[in-house]
Structure 1
Amino acid sequence: MELPAREILSLFLPGEMSPGIEPLGNGHINDTFLVRLSDGCKYVLQRLNQKVFKDTNAVMHNYKLLENNFLNNVDVSLPGVYRSVNNNLLEFDKHGNPWRLIEFVEYAYSLDHIVKKEQSYQAGFGYGAFLKGCAKCPVGEFQEVIPEFHNLKWRMQQLDLAVEQDNANRLSAVTDLVSFYRNQYVRLNGLIAVLNSREIPVRIVHNDTKINNLMYRGEQVRAVVDLDTVGPGSVIYDFGDAIRTIANSSDEDEQELGNVAFNMDFFKAFAQGYLSQTKDMLTDTEKFHLWQAPLYMTLIMGVRFLTDYLNGDIYYKTEYESHNLVRTRVQSKLIASMETNYHPIKTIVEQMLTDNQ
C-alpha cells in the first residue's frame, strides 16, 4: 500500500521527498492514511472503496456541493478537500483506484466510545449543528452515492435473497436471527410507509453518523468528518444511527453479548444536544416518528451484517470468519435492549419536543 500511496501523494504535494505515511482510523470501507510532512503539516490521504462507492465522481461532486453551500454560522466545520497538480479532486493509481487528499483537523480527536453524558450531549449538538448547516443545500443537485442505502424494505429483500441462495452455507446457524429481524421489520411498517411516501421530508443529511465521525477539541465537538455519504435522506437516519453507536454500551463487535445494552443516560443526553439545534427545523411528522429512529437504523445495520455474513463476507472488512456474525448479534441484542425501553425512549423524546413550545 505504501508505494501507490506515495506515488499518488506526489500529485497532491509535489516536491515532498519523504513524507511520513501511516494508517489512520478503523473504518470498514475506505483505506485512510495520515500524512506527516517534514515541516509538521498533516493531511489525510484516502483510497476510496469502489465496491461501495461505484461512482466516485458523484462522491466528490457532493463533497464540493456541500463545501460550497454549508452555512458558516453554525458551530461545526467540515474538512476541506484539495486539488492535485492536475486540478483534480481524485487521482487514480495504476490499478484504477481513486485517491484524494483531505484537510487534517488539527488539535482534535475522535472517540470510539462515549464514557460520559457530556460527550454524548456534544455529539448530539454536533450532528444537530451539521443538519442546520445543510439547511440551504440544494437537495435536487446532490447525487445518491449508494442507492437504497437506508431503505429498510430493500435491505430486507437483500436478506431474503441471501437466505434463499445461502452462498456461504451459513444459514443453519442464523435462522433465529432471520426470524428476529423479520419480526422487527413488521413492527416498523408505519414508519417505513411514511418514509416511502415522503411525508417525512427529504433533507441533506450525513447518512453515517457514527460517534467516530465527530472531531472533539477539548470537551466540544468542532468538526464533522467522513462526508462521502452526505446526500438526500432523513433526520430519521442521522438521529437513529448516532444513537445506535452512542447509546451502545459495548463495541460493535463485542463477543460477550452480556456486555451489550442500551444506555438511557447517553440516549437522553444525545437527544438533548441534537434537539437543541434542530427542534425548530423539524416538521410535525419528523417529531412524531423520531423516537423510532434508533430501532430503524439498528435493524438496518443488523440486517446488513447478517446479509454480508450469509453472502460470504463480501462487503465489510472482516478480521476473522465469524466477524460479521458477531456484529449482527450485537445489533440484535441492542434491539432487544431498546425494546425494554420503548416507553421511556418515546416519553423522553416527546417531552423534549414539547418543552418551551
Structure 2
Amino acid sequence: MQHLFDLYGWEVNVYDTIQQGLINRTYSVKTTHGDFILQSINHNVFKNPKAIDANINAIGAYIKITNPDYLYTHLLPTLQGNTLIEWEGGYYRAFNKIEGYALSVLDHKAQVEEAAKQFANFTYTLKDFDAHRLTDTLVQFHDLNFRYQQFTEAIQHGNAHRIEQSQEEIKLLLSFKNYVDTYNNYIHHKDVKKRVTHHDTKISNVLFNKIDDEEQAICVIDLDTTMSGYYISDVGDMCRTCLCPVSEEERDLNKIWVDGEKWQALKSGYLHYMKDELSNYELDHFFFGGQFLIYMQALRFLTDHLNNDSYYGASYEGQNYQRTLNQIRLLEAYNQLG
C-alpha cells in the first residue's frame, strides 16, 4: 500500500478498510493533508477499468465548467497526473473524502424523497452532456431483451433437476413477457431518449448529512455503472430497493410489501428535477420503471439458479431460487400500487 500512498504524495497516519458496496475494495485514508478514499476496481466484474476512469473524468470535466458547485466525486490525480493506477495486477483510484454517511435501510419517506432528488439531479445536471460519449462499462447491463434471452437459454440448457423443480416460477416469468414487449415499444419510441444514467440507484449509493439539524441527501456515489441509458433504469432500481422494508435476501415472503407513501415520495423527489425534461410518453412509463427492473432481476436470479449459480454465487443451496421468489413477491406487491 505504501507504493500507492507515495504516488499521491500522502503522508499517511492511518488507513482502514471500509464497507462500501459489494464489488470494489475500499479504504479510508487519513493523511497529514486531509482524508481520502482509495479504492481498487474489481476487474473481474468490470473488464474495462480504463472506460470507467474515462467516463468519470469526462463527466467531471463537464461539471467543473457548467456547474462547479455541484458536489461530485471527482477522481484525484497522482503526482504524475494519473487518475487510474495499475499496480500488482490491480487497478486503483482515489477521491477526496466527502463528509457524509450512507444508509442501508430507509426508515421514513423523507429519506426516499431526498435520495430520489439526488439521483434525478445527477441526470438533470448532465441533461446537455452527450451521453453517447460514455463507454458502456457493463455491456447490456439493463437490456431486458438480453436478460430474457439468457433466461430462455437457461430453461433449455441449464441444470435439468433445477429446471424441473422451478417449473412454477419459470411459467410465471414466461407469462410476464408483456413486460419485454412494453420495454421494446418504449426504447424504440420517438419520444424516448437516452441520458446519462447511474444504473445502480440503491440507497447506499447516496450520501446523507445533517444540515441545520435536518437530514439531507448531498450527493450520489459509486459511478462505475454510469452510462448512456433510459431513466426507467434509475427509477426502477430505486423502486426495487427503496420501497420494501426487507432486502432481496429475505426468505420470509410475508415480510415483503411495498410502502405506498414511500412510492409517492420517490415519484415526487425524482420529478422535482426531471418532470420538465421527460416527454409525456416517458412520464407515462414512470410506474413501468419499477415493473421492468424488478421483473428483470427476478429473471436474472432464476437464470443464475438454473445455471448452477455461476454469476451471483450462493452461500447456501437454492439461494438464487429464494431470491427469485423474493423478487416475484415484490413485483406482485408493487403491482398492487397501480
Q: Same fold (TM over 0.5)?
A: yes
Q: Which amino acid aligns with 1:24?
A: Q
Q: 2:254 aligns with which of 229, 236, 258?
A: 258
Contact map agreement 2:29 2:38 (CA 8 A) in 1: no
**Alignment partner of 1:54 out of 47, 50, 74:** 47
Deviation at 1:322, TM superposition (A): 3.4
Over the matched positions of the two proteins, sequence identity in percent amounts to 25
Q: Specify the SS of the correspondent of 1:279.
A: helix
- Give the letter for the 1:335 counterpart: L
Higher strand share: 2
Distance 1:97 1:52 in 2: 12
Deviations 1:193-220 (A, max 9, x none): 2214564111111111111110111211
Decide whether aligned partners of structure 1 residues 341 and 102 sit closer, same or farther in structure 2, where only a CA change above 3 A counts: same
In the alignment, residue 46 of structure 2 is paired with which amino acid? F
- CA deviations on 1:270-308 (whole Å, 9 max, x unpaired) are 111111111111112111211211000111112122222
| Contact persistence 2:113–2:270 (CA under 8 A) | yes
- Whole-Å Cα distance in 1 between the matches of residues 154 and 256 of structure 2? 26
Counterpart-to-counterpart distance in 2, 1:254 and 1:74: 42
Deviation readout 1:67-100 (Å, 9 max, x if unpaired): 1123765985221211234432222232x22222
Q: Distance in 1 between matches of 2:236 and 2:68?
A: 22
Which amino acid is 1:145 matched to? T
Instruction: Give the total of aligned pairs.
Output: 333
State the 1:266 CA deviation: 0.4
Task: Write the mapping of 1:1-357 to structure 2, written as runs, cut at 5 A.
Answer: 6=1, 9-14=4-9, 16=11, 19-25=14-20, 27-28=21-22, 30-39=23-32, 41-70=34-63, 73=67, 77-94=71-88, 96-106=89-99, 108-167=100-159, 170-197=162-189, 199-218=191-210, 219-316=215-312, 318-342=314-338
- Cα distance, 1:9–1:167 mapped onto 2, change above 3 Å: farther
Cα gap change, 1:39 to 1:291, in 2 (>3 Å):
same
How far apart are the structure 1 equivalents of 2:318 and 2:254?
18
- Match of 1:345? none
Say if 2:28 and 2:37, in contact at 8 Å, map to a contact too. Answer: yes
Question: Shift in Å at residue 42 of structure 1?
Answer: 2.8
Deviation at residue 38 of structure 1 after TM alignment: 4.9
Structure 2: gaps of 5 or more residues: none
Report SS of the residue matched to 2:312.
coil
Bigger drift between 317-326 and 272-281 goes to: 317-326
The amino acid across from 2:199 in the alignment is N
Say if 1:123 and 1:211, in contact at 8 Å, map to a contact too: yes
Q: Is the 8 A contact 2:11 2:32 kept in 1?
A: no
Q: Tell whether the 8 Å contact from 1:75 to 1:129 is kept in structure 2 after alignment.
A: no
Q: Which residue of 2 is the match for residue 350 of structure 1?
A: none
Looking at structure 2, the residues matched to 295 and 9 of structure 1 have their Cα atoms a distance apart, in angstroms, of 44
- Specify the code of the residue in structure 2 equivalent to 1:263: D
RMSD, matched Cα: 2.3
Q: Cα distance 1:329–1:85, how it changes in 2: closer, same or farther (>3 A)? A: farther
> What amino acid maps onto 1:276 in structure 2?
H
1:255 corresponds to which letter in structure 2? R
Normalized against structure 2, the TM-score is what? Answer: 0.90
Equivalent residue of 2:101, what SS? coil
Displacement of 1:188 = 4.6
What is the CA-CA distance between 1:113 and the residue it aligns to? 1.4
Separation in structure 1 between the aligned mates of residue 68 and residue 320 of structure 2, nearest angstrom: 38
Structure 1 unpaired stretches of 5+: 1-5, 343-357
Query: Does the CA contact (< 8 Å) of 2:14 and 2:29 recur in 1?
Result: yes
Write the deviation string for residues 211-269 of structure 1: whole angstroms up to 9, x where unpaired. Answer: 11101112111010010111110111111111111112212211211111111110101
Query: Conserved in 2, the CA contact under 8 Å of 1:134 and 1:204?
Result: yes
User: Residues 328, 47 of structure 1: CA spacing in aligned structure 2 closer, same or farther, 3 A cutoff?
Assistant: farther
Q: How far, CA to CA, are the matches of 2:194 and 2:150 in structure 1?
A: 24
Task: Name the SS for the 2:36 alignment partner.
Answer: strand
The two structures have a TM-score, normalised by structure 1, of: 0.85
2: CA distance between counterparts of 1:43 and 1:148? 33
| 1: CA distance, partners of 2:16 / 2:313 | 21
